[in-house]
Amino acid sequence: MARVQIDGDTLVVVIEGLDKLWALKSRLTIPLSNVRGATHDPGVIMESKGVRAPGTHVPGVITAGSFHLDGERVFWDVQNPAKAVVIELADERYARLVVQVDDPRATVALIEGAVFRA
């Protein structure tokens, strides 16, 4: 699971618990100027993940880490698709971040509010 927060003009995604091991990351920091928006999208888990590079994918259990698909790099950290939030990025290492959070609606509202203020 991930914790998403805004620190000044930066989006910070903190990977928590054992997900750090599966995702091979503990934190992602993105300038708000490179965040295009966020959506709550439980259906995203049905998309093709592409090639793990590096990452973990056990269908129905966890998808975590970096994946390459159609020339884009996507970061995943999802166990429960009902709590998945997709964060769209521009000019970053990742084109999207797909992360599981405690409260998807509140997380989307936090990100959208920060992006429109920035």
CATH of the domain at 86: 2.30.29
The predicted pLDDT at position 53 comes to 86
The predicted pLDDT at position 118 comes to 62
Q: pTM for this one? A: 0.94
Range of the structural domain that residue 103 is part of = 2-117
Residues of the chain with pLDDT under 70: 118
Number of domains in the chain: 1
Distance CA 42, CA 111 (A): 17
The predicted pLDDT at position 52 comes to 86
> Are the CB atoms for 32 and 118 separated by under 8 Å?
yes
Distance CA 20, CA 72 (A): 22
